[in-house]
Amino acid sequence: MKEVKTKNAPAAIGPYSQAVVCGNMLFTSGQIPINPETGEIPEGVEPQARQALTNVKNLIEAAGGSMDKVVKTCVFIKDMNDFAKINEIYAEFFSEPYPARSCVEVARLPKDVLLEVETITEL
């Protein structure tokens, strides 16, 4: 297993890696919508979705991968009523054939953000 680190995604805020490579697969830790340059969290679900997915994209690219090689995503959202808005932003980052995906509503996320995204990517 090899750790992946980049300054273009938020640093880990606990005892975990931003991402790891195992064989030819990349596993990202859940990415919340923290701007890695400022440490700020944008207001609203659309800007938060865009930032979280940008963080995922930056981690994948730091490992030498690309978004078109993502095979599975997990999206954790605070309010299922935001599902349609999140889907609109999600579609900006992925194209057909889309990765498999799970999406679940959760009670609470780190820093009280509105969503968190993790991925599994073939390198």
By annotation, the residues acting in catalysis are 103
Residues of the chain by 3-state class (helix, strand, coil), percent to 5: 30, 30, 40
Q: How many CA atoms lie within 13 A of 42 on its CB side?
A: 17
Report CA 21 to chain centroid distance, whole Å: 16
The three-state secondary structure class of 118 is strand
Query: For the CA atoms of the chain, what is the radius of gyration?
Result: 13
Secondary element (H or E) of residue 101 = strand 100-105
Please tell me the distance from the alpha carbon of residue 98 to that of residue 75, in angstroms, as a whole number. 14
Amino acid at 32: I
